[in-house]
Amino acid sequence: MPLSSPALGASRFPTATSSARYASSVSTIEPSRSAHPDPRRWLVLFALTGSLSMIFVDMTVTAVAGPSIGATLGMTEHGVSWIISSYLVTLAALMAIGGRLGDILGKRNAFLGGVAMFAAASVLCAMAPDAATLYAGRILQAIAACLMQPASAALVIENFAPGERGKAMGIYIGISMSFFALGPVIGGVLTQHAGWRWVFYVNIPIALAAIALALIARPANRRSADRSFDIPSALLIATGLPLVIFALQGNSKEEASNMLRLLEPKYLVMLGGGVMLTAIFVMRQLSARKPLIHLALFADRRLRANVLLIAIMQFAMASLIVQGSIYAKDVLLYDPQTAGMALMPMLVPVVFVARSAGKMYDRHGVRPVARLGTLVATLGIATWGAGSIAVSYPIIATGMVLLGLGVAFIMSPANTDTLSSVSDDARGQVSGLMQTARQVGGAFGVAFSAFVTGIASANGANLATSIGAAILASSAVSALGIVVALRMPAHAARTHH
């Protein structure tokens, strides 16, 4: 017996001429609930949380393990950086496609397939004899994550009643974000005591447990009434975004900090081509009868604000995790395990506050929660940057705690609010859209921080000051989130009686 009832009110997606009507129909469509909710929904939540934790930890776990991997496989410093970048760029390019496939195949099928593929890709990474095989494994991991992540976020919403969604999403996001922060810790411990290959082998038992729990709980496999898939749009976004990111990041640390190189023919063609393909993608979404992403969704001010907040915070988080790991290792001179532990102050508030933030969302809605979160997060990033320049770990740790608190009040409520405002038919697509914003924000954040550190270093700054400058620059970007939160529209809180 499925955990949830069948999809309700499945409707045909709009054409370009009906986009206004579609935008106005983006409203909350709730599944029917009995007086006694099925307790198996918690098994589903545990499975979904485990899968997202795998995706998040693999964004950062190689930050500390990177030098050991490079030494074993004979990689340059920039080659090592692409262990992370290849994963993030693929996530940014394909997440929207994965979200749409979840609507077509059904969220449960997409989730189970993605988890199984992620486990296989992790084995390939762990056994890699050379850099090319490792890159292939990382790209395959990201492709699997693009199937898994949009489906898992949609399943959280589908399997919990409105009054529980904030709390459930708080657990889902809070624990997973803790693994994002724990990545360098796990990478350091495993690299130091078991070898870097175990950084990837550790995914196998988590994947098997997630599959087992999902098979036991059997969540409903809702599929969209419209099974069309716009292949040209998929090719456009899968090509355009990576070209833009490749052009910005360059082929070396020195190139990443020299934006004048974008005027060179190679990078000019790469950047121009990427921008052109992305622009064609957007135009196709506006004109196609059945586009990959219905841009009419952005007519909803709440959705626009939530997606923008997620992108801004991931921009800051990704750059800080990468730069913080480098700082702990090369400035504070910590060993891999201690370097990972140095980021722990950011973890604790995310774990313990995310659930409370979810409950606050259930009572008051997203706007007051997001305003508090963006303010605290921005203050935390600025404090972290100042501490980095002063080479004071206590100040840095204070900034980490504040950032963790702020992130907990942003990520979970923003995800819950967006996915609760759309029908089952569109939920996979919208989830993919949110995750695309998250991954694009993260990829640009890593490129931006490399650019700022390179500029500071070229002007005579030492490494501590260069990294501190990059973190302070990220706080300026984070401050834009405060503006977005202040301008968010008010709406009724989802109170559960």
Domain assignment present for residue 87? The answer is: yes
Say which residue, 15 or 479, is predicted with more confidence. Answer: 479
User: Is the pLDDT assigned to residue 298 strictly greater than 80?
Assistant: no
- Condensed to tens digits (0 to 9), the pLDDT of residues 202-233 reads 899 889 988 998 888 887 777 777 777 888 88
For residue 317, pLDDT beyond 90: no
pTM of the model: 0.74
Q: Which of 466, 321, 468 is nearest to 387 (CA)?
A: 468
pLDDT band at 424 (very low <50, low <70, confident <90, very high): low
* Residue 322 belongs to some domain of the structure: yes
Is residue 379 domain-resident?
yes
Range of the structural domain that residue 478 is part of: 40-219+292-486
Residue 396 belongs to domain with CATH number: 1.20.1250.20
Range with lowest mean pLDDT among 128-132, 197-201, 435-439: 435-439
At 304 the pLDDT is: 84
Q: Confirm whether 347 is domain-assigned.
A: yes
Query: 13: pLDDT confidence band, cut at 50, 70 and 90?
Result: very low
CA distance linking residue 477 with residue 449, whole number of Å? 11
- Is 198 a domain residue? yes
- Taking 80 as the threshold, does the pLDDT of residue 370 lie above it? yes
Residue among 346, 362, 366, 361 nearest 484 (CA): 366
Highest mean pLDDT, choosing among 81-95, 268-282, 298-312, 317-331: 268-282
Examine residue 227 and state whether it is found in any structural domain, yes or no.
Answer: no
pLDDT given at position 6: 37
Q: What is the mean predicted confidence (pLDDT) over 467-496?
A: 80
Name the pLDDT band for 9 (thresholds 50, 70, 90).
very low
Q: Using alpha carbons only, what angle is made at residue 116 by residues 114 and 118, rounded to the nearest 5 degrees?
A: 65
Q: Is the pLDDT of residue 116 over 90?
A: yes
Query: Residue 475: its pLDDT value, please?
Result: 92
- Asked if residue 421 is part of any domain, the answer here is yes
pLDDT > 90? residue 380: yes
Task: Write the pLDDT tens digit of every residue in 353-367.
Answer: 777 777 787 777 788
Mean pLDDT of the region 31-39? 56
The domain tally of the chain equals: 1
Give residue 399's pLDDT. Answer: 95
Burial (CB count <10 Å: 0-12, 13-18, 19+), residue 144:
buried
152-178 per-position pLDDT tens digit = 888 888 888 877 877 788 788 778 877
